[in-house]
Amino acid sequence: MNSKNIGWQIKTARERAKLSQGALAKMAGIAQSTLSYIEKGEKSPTIDTVKAICEGLKISVLDLFVIGENKETPKQLKNNPTLKKIDLIQSMDKEFADFKDYIVNKYGQ
């Protein structure tokens, strides 16, 4: 995905969340000018910046990409059965990783 596409996705999600650039930038811990450049496709965000923006929007990174292609609001997307299945798989992956870390820490590799 190029920087113009990701910028458009972020802008669409921000507008649907009814947030100003300044408000979202503050929540994401980035400068408002940085968010503006990202939204215009003039700057490519890092993965960490995308995650921070998604946290500010209170959506997952996956939601960010689906929102841009979908007319549903983030709240409506949360009820999407496909996304619910993906969220379940992601949570199971995290639980498995946590369990693996527990075993490794307790018993060694």
Q: What is the pLDDT of residues 54-65, one digit of tens each?
A: 999 998 888 887
Alpha helices (runs of H) in 1-109, residue ranges in sequence order: 3-16, 21-28, 32-39, 47-57, 61-69, 74-78, 81-107
**Predicted confidence (pLDDT) at residue 90 exceeds the cutoff of 80:** no
Percent of the chain predicted with pLDDT > 70: 73
Read off the pTM: 0.61
- Cα-flanking dihedrals φ and ψ of residue 70, to 5°? -130, 150
pLDDT digits (tens, 9 = 90+) for 16-41: 889 999 999 999 999 999 999 999 99
